[in-house]
Amino acid sequence: MSDLEAVRTYFSAWNQRNADAILASLTDDGSYEDPGTGGPISGAELKAYVEQLWAAFPDLQFEERSLGSIGPDRAAAEWVMLGTNTGSFRGLPPTQKSVRAEGSDFFTLRDGKVATVKGYFNAGDVPTQLGLNIVVQPSQIGPFKFGVSTEVQTGRLDEPVAFSITTLHARDEDCVQKVREGSRASLIDMLKMDGFIGATTAVIGHRMVTISAWDSLDAPRRVMREGAHAEVQKGMYDGSLATHGFTSVWAKARMNPVMVRCTSCGKMNRDPDEVRQCKNCGATLPDAVPFW
């Protein structure tokens, strides 16, 4: 098999979404690398990587733009990757959006097979097309640590009576992803529960926090016993997911009235009445926003 035929066999395996065929197109010590792998990967690690990608984009296809030899036992290809996000991507729910990304692969070949693949593409293309935020920030500067947060709102304007707080330190990055998936499923469960008002989550390194607001002290009890939250708790208690953690329910001691800015005169209105008129100029105030 010629070098270019070997490369086309490799791409054919990708388009067939056949991980075993991809591995078969490589030499025994063959490896793959792209901006998302953190270095060369091979064997079972490569198989897991491509299957995770196909799980997120089950219709993934590569269209060849160009393919040619660039020297003895070396080849290069330009391609366009197309796919629709109908499965979980990086632990997030599917967006149902289609993506298009351009890139290039550089190959070394040996004995009619691919020995190494090094891929280049803009790692931000796919997340951006899926509507995901790409934030460039340090993980830590001095005493400050940085992470990501998520808000879930029911739209209820009730003043919260109780807050449940769960904090855990995941064992490793893989556990962080498992807890994030479990937390996301738990929040979906909460949206169906009486008494739930809203929640905010934060992930800072391996530290993970969820704060949820409820309309009574008894309301959070249900989420502790049922659904995805109970499964994540089990993983915390048996040590499979976390090194440290706690759960708690906090009663409200004091909550000051909500304040709303008048868009006409710019004055802040404390605890607007049902008519929602500015106490300074009489203009109609913007709609209220949730306490939490």
Sign of the alpha-carbon torsion through 165, 168, 174, 178: negative
pLDDT for 203: 94
Name the amino acid, one letter, at 155: G
- Distance, in Å, from the CA atom of 203 to the CA atom of 90, rounded to the nearest integer, reads 14
Least confident residue range of 25-29, 135-139, 167-171, 239-243: 135-139
By percentage, how much of the chain surpasses pLDDT 70?
Answer: 99
pLDDT for 255: 87
- Distance, in Å, from the CA atom of 11 to the CA atom of 29, rounded to the nearest integer, reads 18
CB 206 within 8 A of CB 170: yes
pLDDT > 80? residue 228 = no
Phi, psi of 72 (to 5 degrees): -60, 125
- Distance, in Å, from the CA atom of 95 to the CA atom of 129, rounded to the nearest integer, reads 10
- Distance, in Å, from the CA atom of 59 to the CA atom of 290, rounded to the nearest integer, reads 40
The 10s digit of each residue's pLDDT in 154-188 is: 989 889 999 999 999 999 988 888 888 888 888 88
Q: Which residues is 273 bridged to in the sheet?
A: none
Tokens at residue 39, please? 């270095």
Q: Which of 136, 134, 137, 60 is nearest to 103 (CA)?
A: 60
pLDDT > 90? residue 189 = no
Least confident residue range of 89-93, 126-130, 278-282: 89-93
pLDDT for 274: 78
Phi, psi of 93 (to 5 degrees): -65, 155
Confidence of residue 227 (pLDDT cuts 50, 70, 90): low
Burial, 71: exposed, middle or buried (Cβ in 10 Å; 0-12, 13-18, 19+)?
exposed
pLDDT > 90? residue 272 = no
Q: Which of 44, 49, 43, 48 is nearest to 26 (CA)?
A: 43
CB 109 within 8 A of CB 6: yes
The 10s digit of each residue's pLDDT in 104-132 is: 999 999 999 999 999 999 988 999 999 88
Instruction: Return the ∠ at Cα 115 (arms to 111 and 121), rounded to 5°.
Output: 140
Confidence of residue 223 (pLDDT cuts 50, 70, 90): confident
- Distance, in Å, from the CA atom of 240 to the CA atom of 203, rounded to the nearest integer, reads 18
Confidence of residue 237 (pLDDT cuts 50, 70, 90): confident
Q: Which of 186, 126, 174 is nearest to 150 (CA)?
A: 186
The 10s digit of each residue's pLDDT in 7-52 is: 999 999 999 999 999 999 999 999 999 998 989 999 999 999 999 9
Look-up of token digits 């706690």? 246
- For the question of whether the overall pTM of this predicted structure is more than 0.75, the answer is no
pLDDT for 53: 94
Q: What are the chain's domains?
A: 3-129 (3.10.450.50), 149-251 (3.30.70.100), 257-292 (no CATH)
**Residue 70: alpha-carbon gap to chain centroid:** 38
Instruction: Return the ∠ at Cα 224 (arms to 219 and 225), rounded to 5°.
Output: 105
